[in-house]
Structure 1
């Protein structure tokens, strides 16, 4: 058990480090190229997520009686909405765009409905998160489907959004089961295994973001 806790502490530090590196590299490319569209704000978004996670992680150390869940609920909502808007902008097929817009509206409605019986001040989003993750993964699949049908499929690995999509898909495929059983394992003696896996998925996701920033083409910024 002690070994798992030690591993979890190390992985969390690595995860925070990967978030910081991804945000800083993204910020460098933001100022190096004349970015257009929502992707130009992706590095700013990463900086926000990093700062939010640092504050959320340390809140209980700074203020033992405080609750940091509201910070994560806000960042989760901002994350889903921002990413829905990105995929709505960068997918080209009208059907995909229409569905992604429906997804956005459905997530917002579910967020408000769930807020009537979930206290977002001291409870993490449950149904809104799971629905948002599922709809976001579906949006990513729409994007990949368009890539497969395009004539530039061989150049897709040089596309920043391709690597963002790979990272997000891996992360949420791993995150959804974690969130489903989190409430149970949070009070379980061996909860650390799930949090270790969550940190690993976070590191992989940010590794994909970093890869995308490093090998992308300038043409990805529209």
Structure 2
């Protein structure tokens, strides 16, 4: 089991890097579409993880001067959460054609921002995870992903998905957030009761990251057509 844990722990950063490289390599296929900022999002993800590691392990990179909080890196993750969610809401709202569904996504984004403001009053945005915001935003993103994937519910449409980048992005997002939101809730409960989180939870998290990013990689490898602007 230690070998499995070592593999999982050291796999997700390389897979972030591979995804970033593929997003740059395939950029001519979607540079004029609404997905043109994907490489920035993937680079930001990789940079955020690296910075989070430095803050957590090296006191000189601390964002908070107080000794008790010098290893806290929640500020960068909370900012990342806002940017990541809002970017994909914007993407899905553009590519989903139904007007009612577009409005629902807009309402979901507004509700998410309202929860973010409320959560920031409950838990310090710079020092603590914004659990309510994260779960709310994740549920809205799951909703968006499901709406988009419903376009491919018929057999003839399924065969066209291999070249559809957003199909694979939606699948990866759906896989990750469907599995990770319960993990987020479980960790929050353990934090409240000051009990340790079972090691299997961390393993599942790494597996979800790997599977979701493999979906992204498949999307980049298979895409051939340009997406509409």
TM, length-normalised to structure 2 = 0.87
1:137-186: CA deviation from partner (whole Å, max 9, x where unpaired) = 11111111233369744202320000001111000011011100113446
Residue 211, structure 1, aligned to residue 208, structure 2? no
Name the structure, 1 or 2, with higher relative contact order (CA <8 Å, separation 6+).
Answer: 1
| d(CA) in 1 for partners of 2:155, 2:32 | 22
RMSD between aligned alpha carbons?
2.0
Who is 2:40 aligned against? Answer: 44
Task: Tell me the CA shift for residue 99 of structure 1.
Answer: 0.7
Structure 2 unaligned regions, length at least 5: 63-69
Who is 1:119 aligned against? Answer: 124
Structure 1 unaligned regions, length at least 5: none
Count of aligned residue pairs for this structure pair: 218
Residue 171, structure 1, aligned to residue 167, structure 2? no
| d(CA) in 2 for partners of 1:105, 1:39 | 22
Residue 197, structure 1, aligned to residue 197, structure 2? no
| d(CA) in 2 for partners of 1:111, 1:9 | 35
1:185/1:142 CA distance change after superposition, 3 Å: same
| d(CA) in 2 for partners of 1:71, 1:98 | 30
| d(CA) in 2 for partners of 1:205, 1:119 | 30
Q: Report the 3-state secondary structure (helix = DSSP H, G, I; strand = E; otherwise coil) of the residue aligned with 2:122.
A: coil
Who is 1:107 aligned against? Answer: 112
Q: How does 1:18-167 map to 2 (within 5 A)?
A: 18-30=15-27, 32-33=28-29, 35-63=31-59, 65-148=70-153, 152-167=157-172
| d(CA) in 1 for partners of 2:127, 2:136 | 20
Who is 2:67 aligned against? Answer: none
